[in-house]
Structure 1
Amino acid sequence: MPASSLRCFLVLAALAINTATGATPSNTAAEAAARWAPRGHYPRYFLGEQSYFTVVGAAAGDREGLLNKEGTLEVDRAAFSIEPFLYAQGTLTTWNEAAPSPSLALGYLPVPSVAWRGRNLVLDITAYATDGAEAALYARYRVENTGQERQRAKLWLALRPFQVNPPWQSLNMVGGVAPIHAIRREGPLIRVDGRTVVALTPPDRFGAMAQGAGPLIRALARNKPPRGTQAHDPQGQASAVLAYDLDLAPGAARDVYLAVPDLDPATFADTAQARSGRGGDFAHAALQASLDHWQAKLSRAELLGPPAARGLLDAVRSNLAYILINRDGPALFPGSRAYARSWVRDSTVMASALLGMGYPDTVRRFLAWYAGFQYPDGKIPCCVDSRGADPTPENDSPGEFIHAVYEYQRYTHDLGLVRDLWPSLVKTVAYIEALRAQRLVPDYRTPDRQAFYGLLPESISHEGYSARPVHSFWDDFWGLRGLADATELARRLDAPEAARFAALRDAFRADVYAALKLTMERRNIGYLPGSVELGDFDSNATAMIVNLGSEVPNLPQDALRQTFDEYWAYFQKRRAGQLDWDAYTPYEVRTVEALVRLGRREQALAVLDFLLAGQRPKAWNQWAEVVWRDPQAPSSSATCPMLGSARNS
């Protein structure tokens, strides 16, 4: 059998097995089908290309959508998506032909758009959300005739069993296929399994079909959309399309609105109808309300800078918005999908950003909530999610929690919360003391273990050590900062623990610096190491130590200088293309602050410019957790806010 025929046979066999067994359609089968279909008929990620997306939600909402660079909107976590198509002059336009262009409202508001610019027709897709009694995710599709002659076209909005989240995003969930088993239309309501899309702009036609993930688009390409009002598919491959006939004079535009409400869809649809008589007017008012809401939210702190800093200032505002969108209730989440968990590590840094941008109440709620998950022995969990506290030992957590409380008090001068949390803080300090006690026994006075004496035990809190726990100086300096902050808070409360905390701080500081000195001597290194076992060079981790501030004067100054000299030499070679590299993590933004603190401002600006150039896409003012040199590399790269976060999606 020829290779091409064999490949076709295997594709068909994979699809047939799914159908025959009733199995959920797999990403493997969808990828195989996509490679045989015309480009644009399936999501880009099934072709092995990176697909970038941004989060869409309200500041107080618990549900977020994702809009990708192609203009496809995922309506909820692990849910189906709404994908636009245009048909004009006998030709189907998909994301492949449209050369999509992303943007944000006013350049920084978290109301994203994607523009398709074709021959005399422009399709602008805008996603936004509202909260409150009428909370919903909205999509507006505006088609404009930019030509000199009347244009007749069809806008098709397809409901498809695919997420925006790509398959390689596989932490705590798997992206790609999102099965749809049943679709039916009930007036303005389109029921899709357990979710409902409200057609605020009534479609001219609606059609649903089973096993239609790929055949639906082939039917649209032939201008023969399905006509059934409902479809049931045990294999989860149902799909549907809302059809809108457009007749546009030169310069004219038509808006089409859909919504996915949080609460009862029928009530929502009735409210939209009663409020304005036309769903489009209701949705347009919601869009303006969303824009006004975000402008007010993002203006609590005034950001000043020269015109050349506009991109940076916009990025700061946008990432503040992403932090507010990703959080659920009091919980601060670094992402909306794979990272929809609350790490104290990430949350501590996000809390500092929120405090600086005028959101002390948000931080107060988080601290009071997170303290409720403390273990009886004083352990602060590294992470909390819907299952509760994660028991994994990550020994930076206690210091980070204390520091977050200290930062809240420093910004607000509010000792009330400190008093409320004081029993928790005292237990946290006791837990740090107990961890240290494990390394204060005679066994750690022997020559081969002396460098571990008095340190916090091994952990994987630094993600680079997840394969093998080590004694990380990252943990130790966070612990040291926690003890220093606990001492200062005790003094401000005039608490009796102040003297004991200070003694613990000083003893720990002596042991940390002794371990640092011994590690450098034994490894014969002139830079500050990341861990005792490895003596590794880790400028990102060292930057965080610098940014914590209080220990900079105590660090070995020659080693501190050499660490950032080596980083700067590496950075220059990478920027000049003199090194082979595949990717970097935007955690490197920590280095910008460290360089400023060390008086190396020109270097800091150069690094910042490099990082700003790594936004994907630039117009959405965001970074992926991993920035690949090849922007299309199909690898894990969850989008995340960089204003104080260390993660993703």
Structure 2
Amino acid sequence: SWIRDGSLTSTALLRLGHDKDVKDFIDWYAPYQYDNGKIPCCVDEHGATPVPENDSHGEFIYLVAEYYRHTGDKAELEAMWPHVVKAVAYMDSLRHERMTSKYTVGANKPFYGLLPESISHEGYSAKPMHSYWDDFFALRGFKDAAFIAKELDKPEAAKFAAFRSSFRSNLFESIRQVVILRKIDYIPGSVELADFDATSTTIAVSPGGEAGRLPGPLLARTFDKYFQEARLRRLGIKPWDAYTPYELRTVGTHIQLGQRARAHELLDFFFTGQRPAAWHQWAEVVYRDPKTPKFIGDMPHTWVGSDYIRSFLDMLAYERESDSSLVIGAGVRDEWVKEPPGIKVSNLSTEYGPLNYDMSGVGKVVTINLRAGIRMPPGGIVVYSPLDQPILSAAVDGVPTAVRGAEVRVRKLPSIVTIRYAK
């Protein structure tokens, strides 16, 4: 079992209410941590795999924190605390390998403060690279370690927060330098190659939570470029033989970047790669010619399936870290809303508790019934325009309320939100 697959698959399971399965996985995996704090990338019948893959440490910490956010199980958080502390110490030691004087000058400067090269990103299996995939997971781990320490009232909270801030600063500066030195207009996949790999960069948005901090134009251009190439592939203009449906992660990323129509165009294409169609699943590799006699990996591929689940659930609701809000409806289709009985979400797990709402449209009006049972997020509940057109006006419980772009922010529960459109 891979912690990489396991952490993100666990996120999908948590959102669907399968808490016990996730706890069992955490409890089984944690004892395989090495004495120096290293989290193994994989555990099999022979035990922990020693190959260094530097995304694993952040993924484990994230998994522990995510389980707690969905369950409030402080006893499990306390039990995992020693593992978290050791993993943080190991990540800190790794980044300090790139904080010597050698990395403060010349061509080595973009490596400063990052994690060392590894092969965790499968595209770098032939030769290890300083992969931003590893670094964004490390940042997620440092962030969640600081969060866990604060929740448990541990004295390490301030130190871990300092690690988080320092590492983020080094990571963003590295990206800035590579963009300038290599004359690119997107977030690269690695320092050495300055390669374009939007599927990898999705991790910066989810679960990384850095969409609100990364340079906006650079982030937008990364996924503009990806979408343009994906559309050319779909139309048959760009030749292709195969793709890996890990790209399903880009659907959720487009939702979180406010690109609903693009997200559905991508998803419609990916659905054509489900083979056999009646199985409703993806293999690890999808070939243009389904009879191609080459490697397809696991079928069904669980991690790919969990990427789909997470992206689909983002259409209904996702936590937005930049303003501590819960965004609902950002990916729903017009017909889902307008065709009776509309949309009904029941007990969708979020870090604020179980989410329940109904959404339906008649004529030029869409009504959203936000039900009780969830804690109000610090930034409120953001109702994203259910229809893919500009909002004319909105009201909460009959009282007119402000509209900011495509968003209506709600501060009380239960409540009924009414959104009016011009057509």
Work out whether the TM-score is over 0.5: yes
Residue 589 (1) aligns with residue 251 (2): no
Residue 397 (1) aligns with residue 56 (2): yes
Provide the C-alpha distance between the structure 1 equivalents of 2:157 and 2:253, rounded to a whole number of angstroms: 30
Residue 506 (1) aligns with residue 165 (2): yes
Q: What one-letter code is carried by the residue in structure 2 that aligns with 1:491? A: K
Residue 470 (1) aligns with residue 135 (2): no
Q: What one-letter code is carried by the residue in structure 2 that aligns with 1:644? A: S
- Alignment partner, residue 150 of structure 2: 491
Q: 1:419 aligns with which of 58, 61, 78?
A: 78
Shift of 1:574: 0.7
The residue correspondences of 1:2-41 to structure 2 (distance < 5 A) are none
Partner deviation per Cα, 1:193-228 (whole Å, 9 max, x = no partner): xxxxxxxxxxxxxxxxxxxxxxxxxxxxxxxxxxxx
Shift of 1:628: 0.2
Provide the C-alpha distance between the structure 2 equivalents of 1:645 and 1:343, rounded to a whole number of angstroms: 15
- Alignment partner, residue 539 of structure 1: 198
Shift of 1:521: 0.5
- Alignment partner, residue 644 of structure 1: 306
- Alignment partner, residue 455 of structure 1: 114
Provide the C-alpha distance between the structure 1 equivalents of 2:208 and 2:126, rounded to a whole number of angstroms: 29
Secondary structure of the structure 2 residue equivalent to 1:449 = helix
Provide the C-alpha distance between the structure 2 equivalents of 1:422 and 1:596, rounded to a whole number of angstroms: 34
The residue correspondences of 1:75-154 to structure 2 (distance < 5 A) are none
Q: What one-letter code is carried by the residue in structure 1 that aligns with 2:234? A: R
Provide the C-alpha distance between the structure 2 equivalents of 1:602 and 1:372, rounded to a whole number of angstroms: 44
Change (3 A) 1:623 1:598: same
Q: What one-letter code is carried by the residue in structure 1 that aligns with 2:52? A: P
Q: Is the 8 A contact 2:139 2:208 kept in 1?
A: no
Q: What one-letter code is carried by the residue in structure 1 that aligns with 2:10? A: A
- Alignment partner, residue 349 of structure 1: 8
Provide the C-alpha distance between the structure 1 equivalents of 2:263 and 2:160, rounded to a whole number of angstroms: 36
Secondary structure of the structure 2 residue equivalent to 1:421 = helix
Instruction: Give aligned pairs, total.
Output: 305
- Alignment partner, residue 99 of structure 2: 440
Provide the C-alpha distance between the structure 2 equivalents of 1:487 and 1:469, rounded to a whole number of angstroms: 29
Shift of 1:549: 4.5
Q: What one-letter code is carried by the residue in structure 1 that aligns with 2:146? A: T
Q: Is the 8 A contact 1:353 1:643 kept in 2?
A: no
Provide the C-alpha distance between the structure 2 equivalents of 1:424 and 1:522, rounded to a whole number of angstroms: 39
Q: Is the 8 A contact 2:55 2:138 kept in 1?
A: yes
Residue 371 (1) aligns with residue 30 (2): yes
- Alignment partner, residue 430 of structure 1: 89
Shift of 1:390: 0.4
Q: Is the 8 A contact 1:474 1:530 kept in 2?
A: yes
Provide the C-alpha distance between the structure 2 equivalents of 1:598 and 1:549, rounded to a whole number of angstroms: 14
Provide the C-alpha distance between the structure 2 equivalents of 1:393 and 1:399, rounded to a whole number of angstroms: 13
Provide the C-alpha distance between the structure 2 equivalents of 1:402 and 1:575, rounded to a whole number of angstroms: 38
Provide the C-alpha distance between the structure 2 equivalents of 1:625 and 1:395, rounded to a whole number of angstroms: 22
Q: Is the 8 A contact 2:189 2:196 kept in 1?
A: yes
- Alignment partner, residue 615 of structure 1: 274
Residue 550 (1) aligns with residue 212 (2): no
Q: What one-letter code is carried by the residue in structure 2 that aligns with 1:643? A: G
Provide the C-alpha distance between the structure 2 equivalents of 1:429 and 1:525, rounded to a whole number of angstroms: 32
Partner deviation per Cα, 1:177-196 (whole Å, 9 max, x = no partner): xxxxxxxxxxxxxxxxxxxx
Secondary structure of the structure 2 residue equivalent to 1:553 = coil
Partner deviation per Cα, 1:329-359 (whole Å, 9 max, x = no partner): xxxxxxxxxxxxx000000011111111121
Secondary structure of the structure 1 residue equivalent to 2:292 = coil
Shift of 1:556: 1.2
Shift of 1:610: 0.7
Q: Is the 8 A contact 2:281 2:305 kept in 1?
A: no
Q: Is the 8 A contact 2:61 2:84 kept in 1?
A: yes
RMSD of aligned alpha carbons:
1.0
Give identity over the alignment, percent: 50
Shift of 1:448: 1.3
- Alignment partner, residue 605 of structure 1: 264
Provide the C-alpha distance between the structure 2 equivalents of 1:389 and 1:503, rounded to a whole number of angstroms: 31
- Alignment partner, residue 189 of structure 2: 530
Provide the C-alpha distance between the structure 2 equivalents of 1:355 and 1:513, rounded to a whole number of angstroms: 30
Q: Is the 8 A contact 1:346 1:645 kept in 2?
A: no
Provide the C-alpha distance between the structure 1 equivalents of 2:37 and 2:64, rounded to a whole number of angstroms: 15
Q: Is the 8 A contact 1:530 1:538 kept in 2?
A: yes
Provide the C-alpha distance between the structure 1 equivalents of 2:199 and 2:263, rounded to a whole number of angstroms: 13
Q: What one-letter code is carried by the residue in structure 2 that aligns with 1:605? A: H
Provide the C-alpha distance between the structure 1 equivalents of 2:4 and 2:67, rounded to a whole number of angstroms: 15
Q: Is the 8 A contact 2:54 2:134 kept in 1?
A: yes
Provide the C-alpha distance between the structure 2 equivalents of 1:592 and 1:477, rounded to a whole number of angstroms: 19
Q: Is the 8 A contact 2:58 2:140 kept in 1?
A: yes
Secondary structure of the structure 2 residue equivalent to 1:391 = coil
Provide the C-alpha distance between the structure 1 equivalents of 2:208 and 2:40, rounded to a whole number of angstroms: 24
Q: Is the 8 A contact 2:131 2:190 kept in 1?
A: yes
Provide the C-alpha distance between the structure 2 equivalents of 1:371 and 1:548, rounded to a whole number of angstroms: 20
Q: Is the 8 A contact 2:135 2:171 kept in 1?
A: yes
Partner deviation per Cα, 1:584-641 (whole Å, 9 max, x = no partner): 1000000000000000000000101111111011101111100000000011112113
Shift of 1:645: 6.1
Provide the C-alpha distance between the structure 1 equivalents of 2:307 and 2:210, rounded to a whole number of angstroms: 22
Higher helix share: 2
The residue correspondences of 1:46-57 to structure 2 (distance < 5 A) are none
Q: What one-letter code is carried by the residue in structure 1 that aligns with 2:71? A: T
Secondary structure of the structure 1 residue equivalent to 2:225 = helix
Provide the C-alpha distance between the structure 2 equivalents of 1:446 and 1:488, rounded to a whole number of angstroms: 34
Secondary structure of the structure 2 residue equivalent to 1:630 = coil
Provide the C-alpha distance between the structure 1 equivalents of 2:196 and 2:130, rounded to a whole number of angstroms: 14
Secondary structure of the structure 1 residue equivalent to 2:169 = helix
- Unaligned runs of 5+ residues in structure 1 are 1-341
- Alignment partner, residue 165 of structure 1: none
- Alignment partner, residue 229 of structure 2: 570
Partner deviation per Cα, 1:274-332 (whole Å, 9 max, x = no partner): xxxxxxxxxxxxxxxxxxxxxxxxxxxxxxxxxxxxxxxxxxxxxxxxxxxxxxxxxxx
Provide the C-alpha distance between the structure 1 equivalents of 2:53 and 2:181, rounded to a whole number of angstroms: 26
- Alignment partner, residue 331 of structure 1: none
Provide the C-alpha distance between the structure 2 equivalents of 1:463 and 1:394, rounded to a whole number of angstroms: 10
Shift of 1:532: 0.3
Provide the C-alpha distance between the structure 2 equivalents of 1:494 and 1:346, rounded to a whole number of angstroms: 30
Shift of 1:550: 2.2
Residue 382 (1) aligns with residue 41 (2): yes
The residue correspondences of 1:132-531 to structure 2 (distance < 5 A) are 342-531=1-190
Provide the C-alpha distance between the structure 1 equivalents of 2:307 and 2:76, rounded to a whole number of angstroms: 24
Q: What one-letter code is carried by the residue in structure 1 that aligns with 2:284? A: E
Secondary structure of the structure 1 residue equivalent to 2:206 = helix
The residue correspondences of 1:66-81 to structure 2 (distance < 5 A) are none
Q: Is the 8 A contact 2:137 2:203 kept in 1?
A: no
Shift of 1:413: 0.7
Secondary structure of the structure 2 residue equivalent to 1:548 = coil
